Amino acid sequence: MLTSDELQEILNISLRNGGDLAEIFIEETTSTSIAFEDDKAEKINSGTDIGAGIRLIDKKEIYYAATTDISFPSLKETAIKISSSIKKSKKTKTSDELIPQISERLGKIKKHPDLVPIEEKLDKIKILNDTARSFGEKIKQVTVKYSDSNQAITIANSNGVYVEDNRTRTRYLINVIAEKNGILQTGYEAPGGTVGFELFDLYPAEEYAKKAAERAIKMLDAPHAPSGKMMVVLSSEAGGTLIHEACGHALEADFIMKGTSIFCGKIGKQVASPLVTVMDDTTLQGKFGSYAFDDEGTHAQKTILIENGILKGYLNDWYTARELEMKPTGNGRRESFRTKPVPRMTNTLIAPGKTDPGEIISSVKNGLFVKRMGGGEVNITNGDFVFEINEAYLIENGQITSPVRGAILTGNGPKVLETIDMVGNDLGFQVGVCGKYDHAPVSDAQPTIRIPEIVVGGR
């Protein structure tokens, strides 16, 4: 590992021809991934990825170079090359001293994945597979994926930031496909977090495989969902797919800078129901999007985006914060040392309200209860979205009744936020990997909410 003096010299070299900020990001990530299908392990990958990226910002220009050689001579050479991007021949002064900040983990890792034998990991995967297949001949396919990683990072920049951190994440995914009379239905579970192998204590393999298989089988006999405008209740178990896709991306500040977000110029204005508060909270212990510092070295924090329906701010990295004359929110994220940071969500959620979820359901005479969301698409310039639903039920006279399949939600994110008229006092999380320019681990959450009217696609 480089000394603080060596890091300081690399930053000085990067700025020798000028510039506003120089930064170095060094990463060493060890990881294991297992793909299990057709009752056998199809692929097992394990290894270490090491490298560094040097970023130089000069006014609106961003220069970036990455290398897999993190030796001091190699990084000096990379700094020389990136400094040549600027032709001012005017040296910029860096911070006088780099004082390291060492993060305290967001919760203690109880079972470090790199100390767990591969055989033990395969045993858990087999439990997932065998439990799902035990539901009989209707189960046609079971896919299990497991991944763990430990990312050790060092970040230093010319403003005096110098941090070191270790991030451990573990996740598994089970996807079950059931078939009957040519009808295919899917059940899916994918828990994960900034935890170690104790993930399986928190989310037992047998229990979650059972949930996935039961969901797939249950939907086989469900009639097609009705179509048209309906009152819809989104369960907290649906996670925060709606808030992530229909709202969250449009609040990332790079889209604000480009003028492509529907929320441009709306800070201080009413953009949602007074019952709705939206936040991005990187400090939540154990959640998949949590960390102590972002990938620029900014401290993790809770950012209120919408408060009681009023737009309060955006998700910023250092560059967008400077351009928009705002503060960095600790949302500068990158997939690896190979890519420069951009504003990204972490753990994004609608805050719980005060209403009991049962009261919300009983208030609906005729509507749709959405228990599990699927994939979807959103246009951030206007907020229009289309979401598949994996598990849904009719609500009749205030009671959840028969399951229905094939439902699709179509609407406009900001308009949906404006019309939400009941917010539950519960909160449910889902985890995933968000693809923007690259990929980042995230979690999304919401309470049970009631939408008075939205277009449901069915039959």
Q: Tell me: the pLDDT tens digits for 104-124?
A: 656 689 999 999 999 999 999
Q: Which tens digit of pLDDT belongs to each residue from 154-198?
A: 999 999 999 999 999 999 999 999 999 999 999 999 999 999 999
Q: Tell me: do 184 and 250 sit in the same domain.
A: no
User: For the residues 208-232, what does the mean pLDDT come to?
Assistant: 95
Q: Are residues 235 and 216 in the same domain?
A: no
Which of these three, 161, 193, 220, is where a domain ends? 220
Average pLDDT of the chain, as a whole number:
94
Name residue 64's beta-bridge partners: 55
Continuous segment of H or E residues that includes residue 125? helix 118-133
Q: Are residues 174 and 234 in the same domain?
A: no
Identify the CA nearest to 409 among candidates 187, 226, 197.
226
Confidence of residue 153 (pLDDT cuts 50, 70, 90): very high
Which domain does 59 fall in, by range? 4-220
Q: Domain tally for the chain? A: 2
Q: What percent of the chain has pLDDT over 90?
A: 86
Same domain as 140, residue 34? yes
Domain shared by 15 and 111, yes or no: yes
Which of 190, 220, 250 is a domain's end point?
Answer: 220
Query: What pLDDT does 436 receive?
Result: 82
pTM (predicted TM-score): 0.94
26 and 52 in one domain? yes
**Do residue 436 and residue 408 come from a single domain?**
yes
Q: Both 169 and 192 in a single domain?
A: yes
State the pairing for strand pair 408-412/422-423.
unpaired
Residues 414 and 344 in one domain: yes
Decide which of 167, 190, 220 is a domain's last residue. Answer: 220
Identify whether residues 163 and 59 lie together within a single domain: yes
Give the mean model confidence (pLDDT) for residues 199-216: 97
- Mark whether 270 and 216 lie in a shared domain: no
My answer on whether 288 and 175 are in the same domain is no
With residues binned 3-state (H G I as helix, E B as strand, rest as coil), the percentages for the chain, rounded to 5, are 20, 40, 35
The CATH number covering residue 20 comes to: 3.30.2290.10
Rg (CA), the chain: 24
Q: How far apart are CA 117 and CA 413, in angstroms?
A: 45
Say which residue, 1 or 133, is predicted with more confidence: 133
Contact 19, 147 (CB under 8 A): no
